[in-house]
Amino acid sequence: PETHGSTKEKGLASKDFLASKLSNDPVAIKIMGKEKYGRILGIIYDNKGVSLNKMMVDKGFAVSWDGKGPRPD
């Protein structure tokens, strides 16, 4: 979800959830490339090696999308 437009509430909840999972501990980021607007795509791992990307999808704060087909809401 985005932090503006029709998905603003979901986007802000997603942002807050991610912020709650981050601490002052280091994270690891595996950079996967860039998307069509030049934003970096990657996987974020916490200090225990847990994928925060997967956690957000599993908890309903994000959806998996390969960039093809209709954009999920």
> Tens digit of pLDDT for each residue in 19-70?
988 888 899 999 999 988 898 999 999 999 999 999 999 999 988 877 777 7
Predicted TM-score (pTM) of the model is 0.76
| One-letter amino acid of 73 | D
**What pLDDT band is residue 73 in, cutting at 50, 70 and 90?**
low
- pLDDT (0 to 100) of residue 71: 72
